[in-house]
Amino acid sequence: MLSDVTTPQDLDDRFRETLAALPAADGRRDPAGPVTDGAPLTGAQLLSLFDAQVTSRQLDLAGRWLRSFGEGFYTIGSAGHEGNAAVAAALRPTDPALLHYRSGAFYCVRAVQVGADTAPGSGADPGSTAPGSAAAARPASPESSEEPATSAGPELLEADSESAGTRPDGAFAAYAEAARDVLRGMVASSEEPIAGGRHKVFGRADLAIVPTTSTIASHLPRAVGMGLAVERLRRLDSSGRRTGPGVRASGAAHVPWPPDAIVVCSFGDASVNHASATAAFNTAGWYDHAGLRIPVLFVCEDNGLGISVRSPQGWVEATLRSKPGIRYFAADGADPVQTYEVAAEAAAWVRRHRRPAVLHLSTVRLMGHAGADAESAYRSSGELAADLDRDPVAATARLLVEAGVATGEELLARYDETGWQVRRLAEEVLGEPKLASAAEVVSALAPRRPVRVARTVADAAARASGPGAGARTDAFGGKPPELAGPLTLAQSINAALADGLLDHPQMAIFGEDVAAKGGVYGVTKGLRDRFGAARVFDTLLDETSVLGLGLGAGLAGMLPVPEIQYLAYLHNAEDQLRGEAATMQFFSRGVFRNPMVLRVAGLAYQEGFGGHFHNDNSVAVLRDVPGLVIAVPARPDDAAPMLRTCLASAAVDGSVCVFLEPIALYHARDLYAEGDGEWLAGYPEPGAWVSGHVPIGRARVYRVGSADDLTIITFGNGVRMSLRAAATLAEEGVGTRVVDLRWLAPLPVADIIRESSATGRVLVVDETRRSGGVGEGVIAALVDAGYVGAARRVAGVDSFVPLGPAARHVLVSAEAITDGARTLLAR
C-alpha cells in the first residue's frame, strides 16, 4: 500500500524494483576514471560510497528486525540521509566530528578512511587514545592547509574498492567493523567500542568521532568551543603563553587533532529552532565579527520534519542564510557527486580561512522517525511516495548504472550480500554480554583517583617552590601571596587561579567580565594583565555559549575554567552540564572527556543588593547530575587548596567540577565582632600545599568548647553563622562541633556519620531550600547509615529570595540556628 511505503519491507521491495528497472548503459566505463565527465569522484570512489550507503541502509533494516523480537533497543535510523557519506568523504579523517543520530553512512566512510589497522578487533585498544587527555589523531596530512582537501577521503575509499561485477562479498568487507560497531550499539552490547552498551551513539576515538547523546543541537555549542580551542592551541606560542624556568611547556602531544583540523557537527532541520543552536550560531558569528577564528563546519541535514512537525517551506534556508559571520553552502543530499563537490568546497573554505560555515544538505526521511512512528498519521501517501522517489541510495545506484560503472543486477548483488552479512553480524552480537551490574554501568562515569590527584598537587608545589619559583615571583609582581598577609576569600581564590595558570600551560579563564574588569567582584582582577588575553578573556553574554566553549576546550586538550556570573544565570544553560559535560566519560568509557572547573558566584546574603537573580540559593539541579563535583569553599584557607584539588582532578581524571563561591563571603573579614579579622587567612606557601591538601569529599570540623553535646552540619554561609551560634551556645555550657561539608557532591558521608555519632544530636543547617535542598541529602545519609540519635533541620523557606530586608524572612539566620540547637538539646 502506498501509505506504507516507508515500512522496512516496502522500502526494501521498492529499492529492488528500482534497481531491476535501471537500463544498462551503452558501454562500461573504467572505474578508475571520473564517474561522469568532469566529476570530482571516480567510478570506484562512488561505488565505495554506494557500499557505505547500502551498509547504513541494511543496518537500519537490521535495527527494525532486532526490535521485532525484543533484542534491539534503538530504531532511529539513517534511511534517507545516506548522502552524508559524501560529506565524510570530503573531510579528512582527522577532522573531529560530532554527529547526529542519522549518520550511519558518514560513520561507515570515516571507518574506511582511517583503515582497518585501528579498527576495534584489530588489536588496537579503544581506550588507548583519548582526546582531552592524550593525542588520538593520526599525523596531519602533508597537504597544505591552503589547498582544498578534496582527495584525502576518496583516495582511501578507492584503495578498498572492488570492481562492480566481481566478489560482491568484498563490497562489505571494508565496512564490516563499522557495521559491527553500530549493531553492538543497537543491542546494548558491553563490547560496543565507545559507550560499552550504555547508549547507541556514533563515536570512536581513532575515527575522531566524538559521541553526542542528544542531537537537538545541544552539541553545537561544544563544537564552537572545539573550533575556538583548536585555533588557540595552534597559536599558543605567539599569543601570550608564559614561558620561562619552571613553567611547563605545552607540546603537540596534548592536542588530539592536527593544527589545521576543522570541526564538523551535524544536526537536523528542526534543531535550527533550538536555543542551543541559536547560541552556537550566534557565538560563532560573534567571534568571527570580532576577528577571532573558529573553523567549524555546521552540517544541517534537512528532511523537512521534526518528528511530526514540519519545517515551514524555506524557513531553514532563510534562517541559515541570515546568520552573520557564517558562510552558507547548499547541496542536494540525493546527488552524491554534488554533495561531495559542495562539501569539499565548504570544508576547504573553512580550513583555509579558519572561519565558520554551514552546509545545508537537503534530504528525505524514510521509515519514519523511529520504529514506533506511524507516519500515515501526519503525512499523506503522496508525500511519502515523493520522498521515496528521492531515495539517496537509489540515486547513487542510478548514477552508477547510467555512467556504465555497474549494472543494476551487480548493484543488487552487492546490496543483498551486504544485507546477508549485516544480518549475520547482528546474530553474532546478540550473544555478546550486556552490562551486568550497577558497578559496571557507573564504572566510566566519573573516575576518582585521589592518590594521583594528591600527587599532582605535590608536583605543582615542588615546581612552584623549586624551578618555577622565579617565574612565580615575577607573576605576582615580586610579592607572592603568602607574603601579602591575611587574605579574603576573593583574594585567596584570585591567588590560587594565578598559581593554577602558572602550573597548567593549557589552563584558560573566561566568562562575562572576567578579563578587563576582573569580574563583578574583582575575583579575577589582574589576571589578564599577568597572563595575557589568550588565557584570560571575556566572552559574550550567553551562559550556554560560555559552557559550550568550556566543553569544547576541554575536549581539545585545554584545562578550561569558565565563570558563570551568578548562580541564577546557570539555570538557563544547565543542560550543557547535565546532558553534555557529565555524560561524556559515561558514554565513551572515558576515552573522551571534557575536564572543567566551572566557577559560579552564588548563594544568598548579599546585603544591600540583589533579589533572586543575585541571591540564588538553589543547587538541587547540580546535585542531581551524576558524577559532578560540587565544591563550596567558605573560608579563604579552604578556597585555595580546594581549587587546587579541582584543577588537579580535572587534569588527572577529567572531572567536571563546579566551584560554587559564596558571594556574601567574598570580602568578609570578621567572624564574631567587627574588626576581629577572624574570617581572613594567610595564603599557604607552596611548601605547605601538600600538608594542606583537601581531598574531594572530605569535610572540615571546628570544635567549640567541649564539642561533646551537639553536631552542626552545614556549608557556605552556614559555616560562619553556625560558628557564631556555637560561640553563643558555648557561653551556655554547650560544646559544639561544626562540620563544614565543603563538598556538596560527593557528600563527605564518612565524616557526617563520624561526627554525628560522636554527639548523638545533629542539627543540619541548610541555607538552600527545605525542599530539594542539601539538608535532605545529609538526613538521608544519616538514615542510610543507621544513625539513631536526634536530628533536626534549619533550612531556607521554599521561596525565591526577595529584595532587601524581606530576604531575612526566608533565609537561615544565626538566631534561627541557635534556637534550633536549643530545641534539639531540650529533647
Q: Which residues are catalytic?
A: 614
Q: Could you give the count of Cα atoms lying within 13 Å of 60 in the half-sphere of its Cβ?
A: 31
Q: Which three cell numbers stand for residue 430?
A: 546478540
Q: What is the 3-state secondary structure (H, E, C) of 464-477?
A: HHCCCHHHHHHHCC
Q: Which three cell numbers stand for residue 698?
A: 572530605
E strand segments, 55-179: 97-98
Which residue type does 764 have? V
What are the distances in angstroms from CA 174 to CA 58, 90, 157, 269? 15, 18, 9, 31
Helix (H) or strand (E) holding 557: none
CB 211 within 8 A of CB 592: yes
Which is nearest to 770 in space by CA: 741, 793, 792, 790? 793
Which residue type does 22 have? L
3-state secondary structure of 118: helix
Distance CA 707, CA 729 (A): 11
3-state secondary structure of 13: helix
Q: Could you give the count of Cα atoms lying within 13 Å of 749 in the half-sphere of its Cβ?
A: 13
Which is nearest to 740 in space by CA: 761, 758, 723, 759? 723
3-state secondary structure of 634: coil
Which is nearest to 717 in space by CA: 765, 764, 678? 765
Helix (H) or strand (E) holding 394: helix 392-403
Residue spans of alpha helices (H) in 69-151: 84-90, 104-114
Which residue type does 789 have? G
The DSSP bridge pattern shows strands 629-631 and 743-745 to be: antiparallel
Distance CA 538, CA 527 (A): 12
Q: Which three cell numbers stand for residue 715?
A: 556549608
Which is nearest to 87 in space by CA: 415, 418, 329, 368? 329
CB 180 within 8 A of CB 68: no
Residue located via cell numbers 556574601 = 664
CB 692 within 8 A of CB 700: no
Q: Which three cell numbers stand for residue 225?
A: 568551543
Residue located via cell numbers 555497474 = 406
Helix (H) or strand (E) holding 559: strand 559-564
Helix (H) or strand (E) holding 602: strand 596-602
Output phi, psi for 566, to 5 deg. -140, 150
* β-bridge mates for residue 509, sequence order: 536, 561
Label residues 553-587 b or e (16+ Cβ within 10 Å = b).
bbbbbbbbbbbbbbbbbbeebbbbbbbbbbbbbbb
Which is nearest to 356 in space by CA: 299, 419, 275? 299
